[in-house]
Structure 1
Amino acid sequence: MSDAPRPATAPAAAHTPAPRPFLATLLMSVAVLELLARFSGSDLLQQIAWGLVLTVVVLAVRQLTLREIYLLGASAVLSVLVIVTQPDPGTILSGAMDQAVFLMAFILLLGLLQATARSSPSVEILGEYLTRQPPGRRYVALSGGTSLLAVLFNLGVVSFLVPLIQQGIRRAGADDGLNPLREQRQLSALLRGFAWCVTWSPTAFAPLIVAELMPGVERTAWIGYGFAFFMLLMLVGALEDKLRFRAYRPSGKRAVMAFPRTAALRFAATTGWFLLLVVFFVEVFDGSIVFGVLAACPVMMAGWLTAQFGLRSPTLWPDLKARMRTLVVEELPGSLNVAITLACSGFIGRAGAGLTPAAEVAAFPGLGAMPDWLLLSAIPLFIALVSLLALSPTMMAVFMGSFFAALPEMPADPTLLAFSISCGWALSMTFSPFATVVLVIARASGLPATRLTWGWNLHFTLIAAILLVPLFALLTMGA
């Protein structure tokens, strides 16, 4: 089977800025400068990147939605407060700008990798396979499959799988009265799988952000805790799904797709190469995991495109140049609004933490005297509840990571604190109608965000929150 790329589907004009080579060049420059600044440690390159981010915002002002305008306004207000109230505003604001540039560069580079993955027929075949499983295997297939695809796709896996789910349901019988139940079960499995993969995925935003901010975090142990709990929750979620819909009886026969071994092997090999590239950049350049992921994205993109066109293709170089130009000039500006949103979230979270007197706040509720398991179990609940105020999980992860990093002494093990923050991120994604992934699913499916969260997944969210208590009690046993 050939893995030649499929023609790219043009994004909807209502959500994608018009292709602008100059804007695309600026965005690419932000990503490249962030990489070079991290590699060289140059403050000058970092400051040039700050200027480019501000230039991008000014040039894109007519394309901003109410969300970006609100976040930019909040960023400006916080900047004024820092300047007026803090004795060393330059340190706080420079840290906030560093965080903003990092998040913008990360989403831009990952967006290019996702666009490359969309052109792979192997990925399309795997997505179709996940959505065409019988009811007994469908939950685990969708929840687990979504989490694995998210390692390379991240949020893009949601936009990719939701239409496949709805098309598969309509194809099986447009007038079937059980279709709404099928939609509920499949979209819930997808949302839960994506939400909780953030606790272990090497490319998830939360771990990369928090590991960047908090010293002493052991990323390998964190991935282990997250993956073990993810597997437990997947089994618990499958049981909850089975019990909730126990009166449901499938009608008619459904066509089950055979396991696409070749496509699965290709995707596994691609993911493996990506992770090996991350390790390579970390070891060779003595960098962090963050630097490894950033550096691996463009190399992986070029290699994957080359493999899709075929090394022996007589037109490899012209095809590669044309596709790369399309990705950078046309697809990259499509990530503009999301990139600005994440940049603002990072800035607000870091600046907000700088305005918060960490030691005084920590002393007020007695964080140091609180049992570790209780503190670690309470952090996810706090993040999930605050997410109802329309504060993004990204913003809260930056704030919490910066807050704990500013304390004179960590109130618990840094790795467990970081893991707990990522659990709060995961809880908010099945609980808050304002979570980005929920809004993406709502937009793609036409369903209300409140139905996707409170209507369909409130029970699961409560179960997950309760299970975190014995989990952290076990992890802190003997501490």
Structure 2
Amino acid sequence: MTSIALSQPSATSWTPVCRNLATLSLLVISACAIVREMSSVPWPSAMAGAGLLVFVILQWRRISLTYRIFAIIAPTLATSLWLAGMIDGSTVAKGLDRAAFFAFFLTSLAVLRESAKSSALVRRCGKVLVNQPPGRRYLLLAFGSHLFSVMLNIGALNVLGTMIRRAIRPSSDPEAQRIATIRSRRMLTATLRGFCGVPLWAPTSVTMLLVLSGIPELSWEQYAPLGLCWTLLFVLWGAILDRFAYPSPKTHQVSGGDLSQLLPLAALVALVPGLAYGLARMSGLPLFSALLMCAPIIGLVWIWVQYRGLKTRVKGGLFLRRLRRSFPETFTNQRNEVVLFTSSGFIGVILVPLVDPQAASALLIQANISNATLMVGLSLTMLACAFIGINAILTVTLMLGVLQQVPDLGVSPLIQASVIAITWAVFAGASPFTASLRFISNFSGVTPLRFGVEWNGWFSASVLAIMYITLYVVL
């Protein structure tokens, strides 16, 4: 009894120390990624690798088994290939640089999400969206969910899902229950589809990270206008299907609140790429890298603004306490994502040199596969992997790496990026293995499979059908 009692305080006291050291490791890795973006000095690669090793060791006990496998496979595979002479040290260094940049991506955007989740502006906008009249509720909820998701990622589903559940009042009347069920279904579906539109363009989405890393000749500013067009069509198509499925009821229209309250949030979403664009022009950095550097600054300023009205000394104390208490937990809670992203990015880089470009090209010619069929096959492969639980990060990383090795591919980088982004947006709202669908289904009372197939299946299938037909017409 005594030995157990004595051991408990030491374990408890070690947890904050472990969390702080892991946080420091992530900050070091992020700094290494920034240095590599701004210069060609080689030492940050090795330092980032050491930082990742320290982070994994410190967080090992709390990393899920599936992600532990990734953490073991990545270094084992690299060591085996290097000893066999199939890759060299420069390839390993490139893989470490990719892994460090992915860790920087997660760390940078975590600051933005941490600041957004405590914002009164976000809660106020959520109430305005949920309380809109039926005729315009779907469209506004979808666009509002999209804005929230750019800043909060999957946290947006929690904010809006909670508000939707509170807005649906229970009733013993069967007709009232039926109407409440339909209302809940429409609102949750709109919220999910707005969230699923984020991979189509948003620089804060992992999809854009993978696409821009996998297609070096494509920049975010080149793709963003087209991605925004896909997002608009994606949301509007969902609204059209919703209107045909649920005609507008002839009820008394009530005001749902002042929509101008959404303008500050929209301005904040626009501020992130706007500020990044200015930094990129001044520094010569890629826009995506500049955005990741600006995001933490905007997040920290946003937290500071949340304490407005207080004396500077009190505000400073609260701000520093938030940094010490919340951020280490926020960063280390991403341990599984850090392992998955960095391992997938690293594996993708070290496996690409093993692909024989000439053999791949000859195989495509011999099989007589058209460019349209190739892109449809890529999309269907992503979907199949998503529906059997294979993470899309690894799938997309490997497929993009192979595609870039094929000479004279004949498919524009914009088309490659569009196919991947649209497919990602579709399976994010259809596969029961995706975190977004599992999360939103908790508020619906139905299983993720039923939500994705029955509630959102027709929308997903129609989007894919339109894309596939367009590919065959264009290519």
2:43 corresponds to 1:44: yes
Report the residue type matching 1:52 in the other structure. G
CA-CA distance at 1:391 after TM superposition: 1.8
Task: Supply the distance in 2 between the matched residues of 1:172 and 1:86 (Cα, whole angstroms).
Answer: 70
Tell whether the 8 Å contact from 2:432 to 2:452 is kept in structure 1 after alignment. Answer: yes
Report the residue type matching 2:275 in the other structure. L
Tell whether the 8 Å contact from 1:362 to 1:368 is kept in structure 2 after alignment. Answer: no
Report the residue type matching 1:277 in the other structure. L
Q: Is the partner of 2:200 in helix, strand or coil?
A: coil
In structure 2, relative to structure 1, the CA distance for the partners of 1:144 and 1:47 (3 Å cut) is same
Question: Aligned residue for 2:306?
Answer: 308
CA-CA distance at 1:356 after TM superposition: 4.1
Report the residue type matching 1:160 in the other structure. V
Task: Supply the distance in 2 between the matched residues of 1:111 and 1:242 (Cα, whole angstroms).
Answer: 36
Question: Aligned residue for 1:7?
Answer: none
Task: Supply the distance in 1 between the matched residues of 2:89 and 2:388 (Cα, whole angstroms).
Answer: 29
CA-CA distance at 1:191 after TM superposition: 1.8
Report the residue type matching 2:241 in the other structure. E
CA-CA distance at 1:380 after TM superposition: 2.2
Task: Supply the distance in 1 between the matched residues of 2:351 and 2:429 (Cα, whole angstroms).
Answer: 25
Moved more, 211-220 or 296-305: 211-220
In structure 2, relative to structure 1, the CA distance for the partners of 1:447 and 1:80 (3 Å cut) is farther
Structure 2: gaps of 5 or more residues: 1-14
CA-CA distance at 1:60 after TM superposition: 0.9
2:261 corresponds to 1:266: no
In structure 2, relative to structure 1, the CA distance for the partners of 1:80 and 1:193 (3 Å cut) is same
Task: Supply the distance in 2 between the matched residues of 1:319 and 1:32 (Cα, whole angstroms).
Answer: 26
Tell whether the 8 Å contact from 2:132 to 2:255 is kept in structure 1 after alignment. Answer: yes
Question: Aligned residue for 2:464?
Answer: 465
CA-CA distance at 1:352 after TM superposition: 4.5
Deviations along 1:99-150, one digit per CA (max 9) or x if unpaired, are 2222222112101111101121111111222222222222211222122222
TM normalised by structure 2 equals 0.86
Report the residue type matching 1:269 in the other structure. A
Deviations along 1:291-337, one digit per CA (max 9) or x if unpaired, are 11211122112222232223884323323222222332332222222
Q: Is the partner of 2:168 in helix, strand or coil?
A: helix
2:121 corresponds to 1:116: no
Question: Aligned residue for 1:10?
Answer: none
Task: Supply the distance in 2 between the matched residues of 1:475 and 1:218 (Cα, whole angstroms).
Answer: 22
Question: Aligned residue for 1:197?
Answer: 198
Tell whether the 8 Å contact from 1:367 to 1:375 is kept in structure 2 after alignment. Answer: no
Question: Aligned residue for 2:32?
Answer: 33
Task: Supply the distance in 1 between the matched residues of 2:126 and 2:18 (Cα, whole angstroms).
Answer: 29
Question: Aligned residue for 1:226?
Answer: 227
CA-CA distance at 1:277 after TM superposition: 1.8
Q: Is the partner of 2:365 in helix, strand or coil?
A: coil
CA-CA distance at 1:163 after TM superposition: 1.8
In structure 2, relative to structure 1, the CA distance for the partners of 1:74 and 1:46 (3 Å cut) is closer
In structure 2, relative to structure 1, the CA distance for the partners of 1:192 and 1:354 (3 Å cut) is farther
Question: Aligned residue for 1:54?
Answer: 53
Question: Aligned residue for 2:208?
Answer: 207
Question: Aligned residue for 1:100?
Answer: 99
Moved more, 362-371 or 343-352: 362-371
Structure with higher helix content: 2
CA-CA distance at 1:31 after TM superposition: 2.1
Structure 1: gaps of 5 or more residues: 1-15
Moved more, 366-375 or 127-136: 366-375
Question: Aligned residue for 2:240?
Answer: 239
Task: Supply the distance in 2 between the matched residues of 1:84 and 1:180 (Cα, whole angstroms).
Answer: 60
- How do 1:274-289 and structure 2 match up within 5 A? 274-289=272-287
Tell whether the 8 Å contact from 2:147 to 2:266 is kept in structure 1 after alignment. Answer: no
Task: Supply the distance in 2 between the matched residues of 1:125 and 1:164 (Cα, whole angstroms).
Answer: 11
In structure 2, relative to structure 1, the CA distance for the partners of 1:466 and 1:280 (3 Å cut) is same
Task: Supply the distance in 2 between the matched residues of 1:459 and 1:116 (Cα, whole angstroms).
Answer: 36
Aligned length: 458
Report the residue type matching 1:184 in the other structure. R
Task: Supply the distance in 1 between the matched residues of 2:131 and 2:240 (Cα, whole angstroms).
Answer: 20
Question: Aligned residue for 1:293?
Answer: 291
CA-CA distance at 1:56 after TM superposition: 0.8
Report the residue type matching 1:303 in the other structure. V
Q: Is the partner of 1:440 in helix, strand or coil?
A: helix
CA-CA distance at 1:339 after TM superposition: 2.1
Among all aligned residue pairs of Structure 1 and Structure 2, give the percentage whose two residues are the same amino acid. 22
Q: Is the partner of 2:93 in helix, strand or coil?
A: helix
Moved more, 326-335 or 370-379: 370-379
Tell whether the 8 Å contact from 1:28 to 1:328 is kept in structure 2 after alignment. Answer: no
In structure 2, relative to structure 1, the CA distance for the partners of 1:55 and 1:267 (3 Å cut) is same
In structure 2, relative to structure 1, the CA distance for the partners of 1:80 and 1:185 (3 Å cut) is farther
CA-CA distance at 1:442 after TM superposition: 4.1
Moved more, 48-57 or 191-200: 191-200
- How do 1:67-146 and structure 2 match up within 5 A? 67-75=66-74, 78-79=77-78, 82-83=81-82, 87-146=86-145
Tell whether the 8 Å contact from 1:376 to 1:417 is kept in structure 2 after alignment. Answer: yes
Moved more, 68-77 or 195-204: 68-77
Moved more, 144-153 or 313-322: 313-322
In structure 2, relative to structure 1, the CA distance for the partners of 1:100 and 1:183 (3 Å cut) is farther
In structure 2, relative to structure 1, the CA distance for the partners of 1:443 and 1:47 (3 Å cut) is farther
Q: Is the partner of 1:189 in helix, strand or coil?
A: helix
Deviations along 1:74-98, one digit per CA (max 9) or x if unpaired, are 4356436634666225444433332
CA-CA distance at 1:467 after TM superposition: 0.9
Deviations along 1:163-214, one digit per CA (max 9) or x if unpaired, are 2222222478998244333333222222222223311223222123221231
In structure 2, relative to structure 1, the CA distance for the partners of 1:84 and 1:265 (3 Å cut) is same
Report the residue type matching 1:305 in the other structure. I
RMSD: 3.1
Report the residue type matching 1:273 in the other structure. L
Q: Is the partner of 1:390 in helix, strand or coil?
A: coil
Task: Supply the distance in 2 between the matched residues of 1:179 and 1:352 (Cα, whole angstroms).
Answer: 52
Q: Is the partner of 1:182 in helix, strand or coil?
A: helix
Report the residue type matching 1:26 in the other structure. S
Task: Supply the distance in 2 between the matched residues of 1:427 and 1:108 (Cα, whole angstroms).
Answer: 26
TM normalised by structure 1 equals 0.85
Question: Aligned residue for 2:341?
Answer: 342
CA-CA distance at 1:462 after TM superposition: 1.0
Report the residue type matching 1:394 in the other structure. I
* Structure of larger gyration radius: 2
Tell whether the 8 Å contact from 1:380 to 1:420 is kept in structure 2 after alignment. Answer: yes
Higher relative contact order (CA 8 A, sep 6+): 1
Question: Aligned residue for 1:323?
Answer: 322
Report the residue type matching 2:418 in the other structure. F
Q: Is the partner of 2:204 in helix, strand or coil?
A: coil
CA-CA distance at 1:218 after TM superposition: 4.7
